[in-house]
Amino acid sequence: MKQFWSVLGAVLMVSLVNAQDLGASRVEAAFSPAELAAMDQLQSDQLAFWSLSGWQFIVDAKITDEMLNIADLTPKSNAPALTAGNFNPETFNPLLYNVELSDDKPTYYRVGDKGVLFFFSNDRFNVLNERNKVNQAAAANRQGK
């Protein structure tokens, strides 16, 4: 049983490292070298986590006219405008867009008839980010044993 937990811990650690690398590359793609140099590690880590886990794309979700349209997400200088036709949830980097988040309510964007792009509220994201830190520390602790 102990061997099982060791193997599971190793697999989780590799998954975490791969996710952290993807998140870090998204941060690097969204900010200039000067902006990156001005960021502390905590801010960079939080942005990386948000780029991966602060949103979800929900296929076959109920789409309503009250939702914002994906085209309403204004790109930053180095990003293409989004449409339902060019939106790809596998490569989407939310850090390249000016996303307006609510403190206590999620934000929804309809993506044509494909689905809904859902952003967690700031409050909910902060909870998820704190849980992620605890999980990372626990995984590192298990790996160290």
Domain ranges of the chain: 1-54+123-145, 55-119
Write out 101-123 in H/E/C secondary structure. Answer: CCCCCCEEEEECCCEEEEECCHH
Residue-level pLDDT at 145: 58
Q: Does the pLDDT of residue 12 top 60, yes or no? A: no
H-type helices in the chain, by residue range?
2-30, 33-38, 41-53, 122-144
In tens, the pLDDT along 80-95 reads 999 999 999 999 999 9
- Top pLDDT among 19 and 130 is at 130
Q: CA-CA distance, 80 to 7, in Å (whole number)?
A: 42
Residues 6 or more apart in contact with residue 98 via CB below 8 angstroms: 73, 74, 75, 76
pTM: 0.75
Residue-level pLDDT at 111: 94
**CB-based contact 96:76 (threshold 8 Å):** yes
Residue 39 sits at φ, ψ, to 5 deg, of -80, 140
DSSP symbol at 114: T
* Placement of tokens 């085209």 in the chain: 71
User: Cα angle at 67 between 64 and 72, to 5 degrees?
Assistant: 140
Strand pairing category for 115-119 and 68-69: unpaired
Residue-level pLDDT at 41: 87
**CB-based contact 67:50 (threshold 8 Å):** no
Residue-level pLDDT at 20: 60
